[in-house]
Amino acid sequence: MKYKMYDEMMEQPDSLRRTFESELPVMDEVSELVSNVDKVYLIGCGSSISTCYSVRDAIRMSSTNIDIEVYAGYEFYYNKKLVENENSLAIFTSQSGETADTLAALRRANEYGIHTVSISNEPESSMIKEAKTPIATRCETETAILGTKTYITQLACLYRILFKASDYENKDELLSELSQMPEMLQKLLDTTEEDNKALAEKYADEDIFYCLGSGPNFGLAYKLAMTMLMEGAIKHACPEYAAEFRHGLIERAEKDVPVIILRSDLDSDEITQKAIDFCENLEAKTILYDLKVYADMDKLLSPFILVIPLEWFVYYLAHFNDEDPGATRHIGKVRY
């Protein structure tokens, strides 16, 4: 049986192509703005904040010239350190463009005279209309709650904007690889389904998963736990930075406990390897997604690559539990 999420997954390459073709000039305008401000705020919720975490950590690991802070919608709204007409830029991310938390934060930033940028998939949404600089991802309507094509296009917009403005020494190569990402996504969609279908069948009866990643992979681990597993597969899940494994999680990682670990051979994955070793010594059910298995490209682009096999895993995990991976019990898509 195919669910709506299947079609939306397969639309990811074309959605990214259309977004680049349509919105690249605006992204480059925003990059110029980033180059001239003292601080960049990234604001979102759910899958959208996960893209903010990934690009923030990728920039912090590679660049020195951009100061980035990430906030959930209402945490930004209630931030008392905002200054009227401060020299900053706020980028708001939302699939629907109507997420109440994020929209309230955007309106607060407008009140303070901060230049606002919105990235949303709905061209007629409030966030697109109210931001000073709107960027509309070109995915057409998305219904699967956990976010596939809107996630990948939103992440790509943030990477393009911030890395173009960065002083990362390999940014030209990274941006070139980013422009070729639609072809890579298609290859991964075609080649990673069956292995992850089998993996999902193997773990279908598990009820809780711990999700670990370092650097930009933490943002993906957050998305994996908070939206893909909990919303899509109706499984309990907990995301952590890989280095945080040595705190509370080390007491819960026991024999047969499933731990999903994302690795890309980043410098910080020296610590990720320690978590892998500990899990293996305990005979935990270690599920490793390693960038080098799937692609040879800049390690900072890892979330774009690893999300595709993870999507297949979650899609079939839901299926083997008689769940529609795009439906939820309590969450709308999101207009409240």
The 10 Å CB-count burial string (b at 16+, else e) for 179-197 is: eebbebbbebbeebbeebb
- How confident is the model over 233-264, as pLDDT tens digits? 999 999 999 998 888 887 888 889 999 999 99
pLDDT at 331: 63
Q: Is 133 helix (H, G, I), strand (E, B) or coil?
A: strand
pLDDT tier, 332 (very low <50, low <70, confident <90, very high otherwise) = low
Reported pTM:
0.95
Give me the percent of the chain exceeding a pLDDT of 90.
Answer: 84
pLDDT at 71: 97
pLDDT tier, 335 (very low <50, low <70, confident <90, very high otherwise) = very low
Q: How many residues does the chain have?
A: 336
- How confident is the model over 52-90, as pLDDT tens digits? 999 999 999 999 999 999 999 999 999 999 999 999 999
pLDDT tier, 330 (very low <50, low <70, confident <90, very high otherwise) = low
Indicate the burial class of 322 (C-beta count within 10 angstroms; 0-12, 13-18, 19 or more): exposed
- How confident is the model over 17-38, as pLDDT tens digits? 999 999 999 999 999 999 999 9
pLDDT at 334: 45
pLDDT at 45: 92
pLDDT tier, 222 (very low <50, low <70, confident <90, very high otherwise) = very high
Encoding tokens for residue 223?
């998305």
Inform me whether the pLDDT recorded for 329 exceeds 80: no
